[in-house]
Structure 1
Amino acid sequence: MKSLISVVLIFSLIFNVHCDLASEQVAYAVEVIFYRLTTDTWTANAMETTFAGVMASAANSYCESVSGNCGLTSCCTSVSISFKETDVGKVSGYPQKDLKNLKHKFYLQFPTGFTASNSSVTQYVVVNSALYEIIRLGRTTFHTQTGYWITWADETYYGIPATTLENQIIIPIAFVVLFLVIFLAIGLHFWNKKKQNEARLKKKIDNKKAMKKNQAMVQPTYRVDPEIKDIDEETTEKTGKESSKKPRKEKMYADSYPIKQSNETSKKHMGGASDTDSAIKMENEHMQEDMDFMDSKNAVKGNLPPLDNQEDGEKKKKKKKKEKKKKHHDEGYDNQSANLSTEL
C-alpha cells in the first residue's frame, strides 16, 4: 500500500512539472518576424537550426554578464552550464507566412544544471524582457549567415539598418540637397527684397507725377495762339491805314478853301485831337495804368491772361477810340464851319 502511494506521488509530481513547463513555454514565448523570408526558403536552407544556434550563442553572451535578468544565479561560466541549440524551442503551428514575411514563435529554456534565482518569476524558461535583448544581439549574426533581417519581436521594432554603401550614397546626396535649399532660400530672399525696393521707387515716382498733374490742374497756363496773334497784327495794320486816310468832308473843305493853319489847328480841322489835349492824356494814362496793372498781375501769377478777356479788352479800347475820334472830328468840323462863316 505504501509503495502504491509513493508511485502515485511521483507521477503527480512529474505531471505537475510537465504542466508548469508547458504553460511557461507558451506564456513566455516571443513571436519574431523575418523580413521577406518565405517558408520554402526557411525549410530548404534549414534556417531553424541556424536560428537556434544564433539565439543560444547570444543568450550565453547576455546572461553571462547579467544573469539576474535571465532568472539565474549564475550562467554560462562553463560548457556544462550554458545554453545550447536544444534549449531553443518553438511553439507548435510555427513558422507561418505573413504576407511577404515569415512569422516564427520560440522560447528559451533554462540550461541543464541551472539554479534559478530567488527573484525569478519563472522556473523553467527565460522571461520575455531578456529574450528581446538576446534577439537584439543575435539578429545581426543571423543576417550575416542567412541574408535576412529580424524586424519585429512581439511589439518591439528593430528595423533594417542601412548598409555602408547606401550611407555612402545617401549622405552626400543629402548634403547637396541641403546646400541647394539654402542657396535657393537666400536667392529668394534677395529677389523679394529687390522687388520691394522697385515697388517702393515706382510708388514715389507715381506720387510725384500725380502731384505735378494736380498742380497743373489747379494753375493752368495759357499761351497765345499764333493764328490769333497774326489776326491781331493784321487788324492793327488795317486800323493804322484807315486812320491815315483823310475824311471825305475834310478833304473837300481843304481843297476848296486852302487856309494856312498851324499844325494844331490842322489837326483839329482834320477831326484829330492834339497830343496836348488833357482829356486824351488822361485817357492814355488810365489805359497805360490798366495795362501795367494787368502785366504785373500776370507776372505775379506766372501766366498769361485768358485769351477771351484780352480780345474783349482790345475791342472795347478800339470802340472807345473810334467814339472819341468821331467826337473830335465833329468838333473840328464845327470849328472850321464857324471860321468860314466869320471870314465870309
Structure 2
Amino acid sequence: MPSERLSVVVTRRLPEVVETRMTELFDVSLREDDTPMTREELVAAMQEADVLVPTIGDQIDAGMLGQAGPRLKLIANYGAGIDHVDVATARQRGILVSNTPGVLTDDTADMTMALILAVTRRIPEGLALMQSGAWQGWSPTALLGGRVGGKRLGILGMGRIGQAVARRARAFGMQIHYHNRHRLRSEIEQAHEATWWESLDQMVARMDVISINCPHTPSTFHLMNARRLKLMKPEAVIVNTSRGEVIDENALTRLLRAGEIAGAGLDVYEHGHDVNPRLRELGNVVLLPHMGSATREGRIEMGEKVLINIKTFADGHRPPDQVLPSML
C-alpha cells in the first residue's frame, strides 16, 4: 500500500468517538447527515476511495462493484450482517470484505428476551392503556398473558447469539430446544441443557416460543414459510432479532390476523423499513425499529472493530474479520 494515508468513505453517521479516531488515522470523508447514501452516491464513493465503510442499509451488488475505481481494495462493513454485500464479486475484483462479528451478541440476546416477555406478557398493550388514560384500575381478568417459566423455547440458529439467548431463557425457567444444520458438541448441549431437533418441522410444531437467530443466506430465505408457520401451535409466539428475510412476512401476517399464531415480536423485517401495514395494525404484535444492536457500548465496539480491520489492512496484513464467500 502507498505510504500516504488511506482514503476512507463512511456511508452513515457513526458514534463521535469512532469518527474522531478515524479522522486521526485516515483521510476520511464522513457523512454530514444520517440519511442513507443513494446508489449513485455509493458508486461515486467506490470510485474515489481506498476503503468503503458501509452499513446494513447499503446494498452493494455486482453492478456497483463493476463500477468501483481501481483504488477500492477494502469494504470494511460496520456491522456483522454481510448479506447486503456481494462478497463473491468483490473477491473476484480483488476487493476484500470485513465485518464486525461477536460484538453485539449480548445486546441482541437481551433484546430477544425483551421481545419474548413483551409479547407473552402483553406489555405494549398495557403501556398503550396507561398512555391513553383509559385504565380504570386493576382487574382479575385484564390483560392476561402467559408465564414463560416452564415453556419450550425453540431456537433457530444456535450460534453465538442463539446460545446467549439460551443462557438468559434458562434463567427464566424455559426449556431450551434448538435446530441447527449441524448438532452442537455434547458438552455445549449439556451446558445449555439444550435438546437438538434434526427436523425443524417437528421442533416448530412443539414449541411455545420460536426465536429466530440464524443469518440470512440463500438457504435460510423464508425458512419460516407459510407451511412451516402453520405448524406452530395456536398459542405459540415467534420472535425475530436476526434477519427479516428468514420469515415470510405476508404469511406471518395472515396467520396472526386469523389467530392461528398467538403473537410475534419483530426487530427486523423482510423488506427493510417497509413494514407490511397490516402487520402494524395487529394488537398481538410487538414491532421495534431494528434496535437489537442499539447500545452505546455495542456501537462503539463495532467502530473499534472497523478501525482495527482498516488499520491492519493499511499495515499490509489480512483484516482479522475478513469475510470469504465460503463463510456465507
Q: How high is the TM-score relative to the length of structure 1?
A: 0.18
Task: Please state which structure has a larger fraction of its residues in helix.
Answer: 1
Q: How high is the TM-score relative to the length of structure 2?
A: 0.19
Of structures 1 and 2, the one scoring higher in RCO (CA 8 A, sep 6+) is: 2
Task: Please state which structure has a larger fraction of its residues in strand.
Answer: 2
Structure with greater Cα Rg? 1
